[in-house]
């Protein structure tokens, strides 16, 4: 090799090395590495705020434009004084937003650790003045107004709501009063599914030229549903019901449109489950529509197993409840008393971790509600993606007060059981690492995590015993009837079977 060839080779090697280490150069995405992409930026003026990524958790690169898949280990947000992240800004993995529930972690010095092998999609980047009217981000950024848009055949209709309450109470509207703003008639159908309606921020402008140029109702609804356009409100766990449409308003407000034709909507408010609550339930709507249900297909409501007393009462838009009866459990396991239209349910045994109730009203309606009494769930650990069993228990207790028994069934039908010890370290709801086996979580609870045995990857059952087990002593059950609480794979994820 002559000197000229050697020199050219050296230059090429140096150029490649520089390209690999320059901070602004996106890293190559490997299949086993976490990555992110920037789908949309709603406002290019970040007002001094920053959104950044890192490949090592130490050196940070600013994100200033849309980007394709880029390898990273962490994402971080730096807020300027007087500004906050818009509520409709989202960082999604497998469709679920992790930003709004982990803001404290994203805005911390170390940022948010990405899970190995996952791709995170950043949508609708926008920073708003604190207390502004940009919509989203909870009550401080919400001006009390919103729209609902819906399809009536192929006609696009919309209605403007104003003066909504943001104090965590539900804003109720009779469907017959939610009429098209253009015609003053054509009321919304309260039986629409989410494919045919959308709640929109106040920034929606029906006179916008791009929107107005669309010809069909389906095109217009698709336009306002598109998160890139910034109008769509995240419902945050709200669901379509038989005779009601509702939203939890991206944590800024709650709104329900109900069927006000007598004998249809039956709204039940569940009370008494605030003593213990998982953090992810902080904004759930505790009023649910039980109309159109049956014993084999009841409405479901999740509550922590330690809430041993719950109340049921019809809301003022519904027929009055006359009877609540537990179905299929011993008389002494669950008792019901009533006073002034409110029914108090007392659970006397944790063995019964889900119970169906028959609800009769004074209009002759008979409906059913199943209360799922939960104490555990499968979670993915940030940074590793490892799935663990998270056990929740009263904060006055310790992880050492419980024995966690996994039961698995092999392909040949043989059954095996083993007691699994708590992991010494884990992550809290904000993605922060903890040590010493447990961490405070939610309301009145602690959490400890347990490695799922390798032979339980496709499904297992768990019994949680309150104390140390022995051949002669069974001290009692926190959770799990028969062989225990069962988890099985649904759409690639371990889900609890009720």
- Residue 489: what pLDDT? 65
Spelled out in words, what is the top-level CATH class assigned to the domain 376-427+434-497? Answer: mainly beta
- Residue 239: what pLDDT? 73
369 closest CA partner among 310, 311, 294: 294
- Record the tokens describing residue 103, joined without a space: 């803001």
Concatenating the DSSP letter of every residue in 154-192 gives TEEEEEEE-S---SS-EEEEEGGG---TTTS--PPPTT-
Per residue in 279-289, pLDDT (tens digit) is 666 567 788 89
**Structural domain boundaries in the chain:** 23-129, 140-258, 295-374, 376-427+434-497
Region of 239 (left: φ > 0; alpha: ψ -120 to 50; beta: rest) is: beta
Q: Contact, 396 vs 445, CB < 8 A? A: no
pTM for this one?
0.67
In this structure, whether the domain defined by 295-374 belongs to CATH 2.60.40.1220 is answered with yes
Q: Is the model more confident about 475 or about 145? A: 145
Q: Is the pLDDT of residue 325 over 90?
A: yes
CA dihedral (58, 61, 63, 66) positive or negative: negative
Per residue in 475-489, pLDDT (tens digit) is 566 776 666 777 776
Which range is least confidently modeled, 226-235, 343-352, 416-425?
Answer: 226-235
Q: Is the pLDDT of residue 273 over 90?
A: no
pLDDT tier at 491 (50, 70, 90 boundaries)? low
Per residue in 389-442, pLDDT (tens digit) is 899 999 999 999 998 888 888 777 788 888 899 999 988 877 788 899 999 988
What is d(CA 392, CA 193) in angstroms, rounded to the nearest whole number? 34
Fold identical between 295-374 and 376-427+434-497?
yes
Residue keyed to tokens 């379509």: 240
- Residue 472: what pLDDT? 66
- Residue 42: what pLDDT? 75
Could you tell me what percent of the chain has a pLDDT over 90? 38
């Amino acid at each position: 090799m002559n000197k000229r060839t050697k020199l050219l080779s050296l230059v090429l090697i140096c150029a490649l090395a520089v390209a690999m280490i320059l901070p602004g150069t996106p890293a190559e995405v490997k299949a086993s590495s976490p990555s992110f992409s920037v789908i949309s930026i709603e406002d290019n003026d970040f007002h001094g705020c920053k959104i950044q990524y890192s490949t090592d958790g130490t050196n940070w690169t600013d994100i200033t434009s849309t980007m394709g898949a880029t390898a990273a280990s962490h994402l971080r947000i730096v807020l300027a004084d007087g500004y906050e992240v818009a509520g409709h800004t989202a960082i999604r993995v497998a469709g679920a937003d992790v930003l709004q529930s982990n803001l404290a972690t994203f805005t911390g010095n170390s940022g948010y650790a990405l899970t190995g092998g996952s791709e995170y999609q950043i949508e609708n980047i926008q920073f708003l003045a604190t207390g502004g009217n940009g919509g989203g981000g909870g009550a401080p950024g919400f001006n009390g107004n919103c729209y609902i848009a819906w399809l009536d055949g192929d006609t696009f209709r919309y209605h403007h709501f104003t003066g909504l309450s943001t104090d965590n109470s539900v804003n109720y509207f009779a469907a017959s009063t939610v009429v098209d703003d253009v015609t003053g008639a054509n009321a919304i159908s309260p039986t629409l599914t989410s494919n045919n309606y959308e709640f929109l921020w106040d920034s929606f402008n029906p006179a916008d030229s791009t929107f107005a140029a669309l010809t069909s109702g389906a095109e217009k609804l698709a336009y306002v549903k598109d998160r890139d356009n910034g109008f769509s409100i995240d419902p945050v766990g709200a669901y379509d019901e038989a005779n009601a449409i509702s939203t939890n308003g991206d944590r800024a407000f709650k709104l329900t449109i109900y069927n006000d034709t007598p004998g249809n909507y039956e709204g039940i408010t569940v009370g008494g489950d605030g003593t213990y609550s998982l953090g992810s339930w902080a904004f759930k709507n505790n009023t649910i529509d039980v109309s159109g249900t049956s014993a084999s297909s009841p409405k479901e409501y999740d509550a922590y197993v330690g809430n041993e007393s719950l109340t049921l009462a019809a809301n003022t838009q519904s027929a009055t409840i006359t009877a609540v009866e537990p179905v299929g459990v011993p008389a002494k396991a669950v008792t019901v008393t009533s006073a002034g239209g409110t029914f108090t349910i007392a659970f006397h045994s944790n063995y019964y971790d889900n119970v169906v109730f028959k609800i009769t009203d004074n209009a002759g309606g008979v409906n059913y509600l199943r209360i799922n009494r939960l104490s555990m769930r499968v979670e993915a650990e940030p940074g590793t993606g490892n799935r663990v069993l998270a056990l929740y228990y009263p904060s006055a207790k310790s992880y050492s007060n419980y024995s966690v028994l996994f039961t698995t069934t092999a392909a040949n039908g043989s059954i095996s059981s083993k007691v699994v010890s708590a992991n010494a370290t884990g992550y809290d709801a904000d993605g922060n690492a903890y040590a010493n086996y447990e961490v405070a979580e939610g309301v009145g609870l602690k959490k400890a995590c347990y490695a799922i045995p390798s032979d339980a990857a496709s499904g297992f059952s768990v019994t949680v015993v309150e104390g140390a087990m022995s051949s002669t002593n069974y001290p009692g059950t926190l959770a799990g009837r028969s062989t225990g609480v069962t988890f099985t794979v649904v759409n690639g994820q371990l889900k609890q079977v009720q």
